[in-house]
Chains A and B, each alone.
Chain A
């Protein structure tokens, strides 16, 4: 099949798309496509640059800026009367309307004001570009946090593998306490039986994600690395997995408590930690938002994601919530642009799509934009020109 785009011929609407681009009416993907095409057609690229150059200067020729806009008589002066009478039935008809209405030339119905969007972004936002950059997949948050507590019935609830522990630390924003031991090591057993059961120690463990690793269960290479750091091995890692305090060996309660306190202080740098109950609540909220998103209740999901993005207690949770907001923002843009595309062939269908979308996004800031687009579509019989709100 011959592809005219690759075959050297400019597409028929290339000039129109240049105008749409200069007027800020193209979405980013369309702009990229246009740029690629202009690169193959330097003569049109030259037109694009010059049209952009005069765009602002000729702005006064259109729009309802009465003090400086050209009135109809001025435009009429530019249009040769003879050729207008002969060929321009549409211009004449429009002129008659203007004279009757006593309105300015720039107020022709087809020159309706752009619809300024209050929330939907026509361009890909920075948060969308950076979405999913965090390491913990969103789906894991509820599972990780919803049912976790570091202490139950006065006893430490050790996480038994390092991978789950680090994921929990990242998800919760809490430091990780690593306890590396051998089952046959008497000092390790002494710490388990005494120091780690002391109420003062248990109370401080509430601040951590406690991870107990049987050093025999590790690969030889990993085991050697950890043994070299001493055992029983005690280390505090911050939520990013960096060791901030190490205190291998046997400790009495006072020493152990002091080391735990140092570890917390270094890991959090004075940052106030959310309670586990709060974290579990946020994890449940995140889970509900995901469920709502998957069920198509995008307005409800957006509200929850936005609240978690604002108030979430860990960097990872905030990042995951930001991803959620970005996904829903993108979905709103897709819904709007899909309706715009559909309106070219099916205005009623596009209106119905916008109604449906407004319901799906109800309660979010995007619903108003969708509803406004539908209102304008119904009123004008065509899709409004879209402009990003400022």
Chain B
């Protein structure tokens, strides 16, 4: 693990070090992957289609043969879990 890199990247940003910014971003991406991995399957599916694929809730409901309300519940649950898990890293990357 490269936890200390976060600190390195933060201070490096002040010195406009692009390399460390990239490392911090990469570190965050790893945390995002880990957080997504930890989601329940159905919530993860709904979230990835909604966030990354740009599908509407209705499209997800249709494709997964799930009631719309359930899709929304899964999305809300996934989003809440991700927010809780990623909140500690807020501010560690220039774009976040």
Name the residue of chain B whose CB is nearest to the CB of A74.
Answer: B33
Determine whether the beta carbon of A60 is less than 8 Å from that of B72: no
Determine whether the beta carbon of B25 is less than 8 Å from that of A60: yes
Question: Which of A47, A68, A89, A110 makes the CB contact (< 8 A) with B29?
Answer: A68
Determine whether the beta carbon of A57 is less than 8 Å from that of B89: yes
Determine whether the beta carbon of B86 is less than 8 Å from that of A78: no
User: Which residues of chain B come closer than 8 Å to A89, judged between CB atoms?
Assistant: 63
Distance from B88 Cβ to chain A, minimum over Cβ atoms (Å) = 11
CB within 8 Å for A54 and B58 given contacts A60-B29, A108-B53: no
CB within 8 Å for A56 and B51 given contacts A78-B37, A80-B41: no
Q: A50-B80, A60-B28, A87-B63 are in contact. List 9 more A-B contacts (CB 8 A).
A: A12-B57, A44-B72, A47-B76, A50-B79, A57-B90, A60-B25, A70-B29, A78-B48, A110-B53
User: Which residues of chain A come closer than 8 Å to B64, judged between CB atoms?
Assistant: 87-88
Binding site for B on A (CB under 8 A): 12-13, 15-16, 19, 43-44, 46-47, 50-51, 53-54, 56-62, 67-68, 70, 74-75, 77-80, 83, 87-91, 106, 108, 110-111
List of 7 A-B pairs having minimum Cβ-Cβ separation, nearest first = A50-B83, A56-B96, A47-B76, A50-B79, A16-B56, A60-B29, A53-B83
How many A-B residue pairs have C-beta atoms within 8 angstroms? Tell me. 102
CB within 8 Å for A57 and B37 given contacts A47-B79, A75-B48, A78-B48: no
CB within 8 Å for A88 and B32 given contacts A12-B58, A50-B83, A57-B96: no
Scoring B residues 31 to 66 as 1 if CB is less than 8 Å from chain A, else 0, what string do you get?
011001100010011001111111011100001110
CB within 8 Å for A58 and B87 given contacts A70-B33, A83-B41: no
CB within 8 Å for A110 and B89 given contacts A58-B32, A68-B29: no
Q: Which of B25, B51, B64, B65: most chain A Cβ within 10 A?
A: B51
Distance from B69 Cβ to chain A, minimum over Cβ atoms (Å) = 10
Q: A78 CA to B49 CA in the complex, in Å? A: 11
Q: Is the interface of A mostly helix, strand, loop or mixed?
A: helix
Q: A90 CA to B58 CA in the complex, in Å? A: 14
Q: A108 CA to B86 CA in the complex, in Å? A: 27
Q: A225 CA to B79 CA in the complex, in Å? A: 72
Determine whether the beta carbon of A78 is less than 8 Å from that of B44: yes
User: Which residues of chain B come closer than 8 Å to A108, judged between CB atoms?
Assistant: 53
User: Which residues of chain A come closer than 8 Å to B45, judged between CB atoms?
Assistant: 79-80, 83
CB within 8 Å for A61 and B32 given contacts A13-B56, A15-B72, A78-B44: yes
Determine whether the beta carbon of B86 is less than 8 Å from that of A54: yes
Question: Which of B52, B57, B63 makes the CB contact (< 8 A) with A13?
Answer: B57
CB within 8 Å for A61 and B51 given contacts A12-B58, A13-B58, A87-B65: yes
CB within 8 Å for A90 and B63 given contacts A47-B79, A56-B95, A79-B45: yes
Determine whether the beta carbon of B32 is less than 8 Å from that of A57: yes
B9 part of interface (Cβ distance < 8 Å): no
Distance from A290 Cβ to chain B, minimum over Cβ atoms (Å) = 43
Name the residue of chain B whose CB is nearest to the CB of A53.
Answer: B83
User: Which residues of chain A come closer than 8 Å to B80, judged between CB atoms?
Assistant: 46-47, 50
Q: A110 CA to B25 CA in the complex, in Å? A: 26
CB within 8 Å for A75 and B76 given contacts A57-B89, A68-B26: no
Q: A58 CA to B39 CA in the complex, in Å? A: 14
Q: A166 CA to B25 CA in the complex, in Å? A: 63
Distance from B10 Cβ to chain A, minimum over Cβ atoms (Å) = 16
User: Which residues of chain B come closer than 8 Å to A70, judged between CB atoms?
Assistant: 29, 33, 52
User: Which residues of chain A come closer than 8 Å to B63, judged between CB atoms?
Assistant: 87-91
User: Which residues of chain A come closer than 8 Å to B49, judged between CB atoms?
Assistant: 91
B12 part of interface (Cβ distance < 8 Å): no
Distance from A289 Cβ to chain B, minimum over Cβ atoms (Å) = 42
B75 part of interface (Cβ distance < 8 Å): yes
Determine whether the beta carbon of B95 is less than 8 Å from that of A59: yes
Q: A19 CA to B51 CA in the complex, in Å? A: 8
Q: A61 CA to B41 CA in the complex, in Å? A: 17
Question: Which of A51, A59, A62, A67 makes the CB contact (< 8 A) with B22?
Answer: A67
Distance from B51 Cβ to chain A, minimum over Cβ atoms (Å) = 6
Give 5 pairs: A residue, B residue, CB < 8 Å, sorted on A.
A13-B58, A58-B32, A79-B44, A79-B48, A80-B45
Distance from A83 Cβ to chain B, minimum over Cβ atoms (Å) = 7
User: Which residues of chain A come closer than 8 Å to B22, judged between CB atoms?
Assistant: 67-68
Distance from A18 Cβ to chain B, minimum over Cβ atoms (Å) = 10
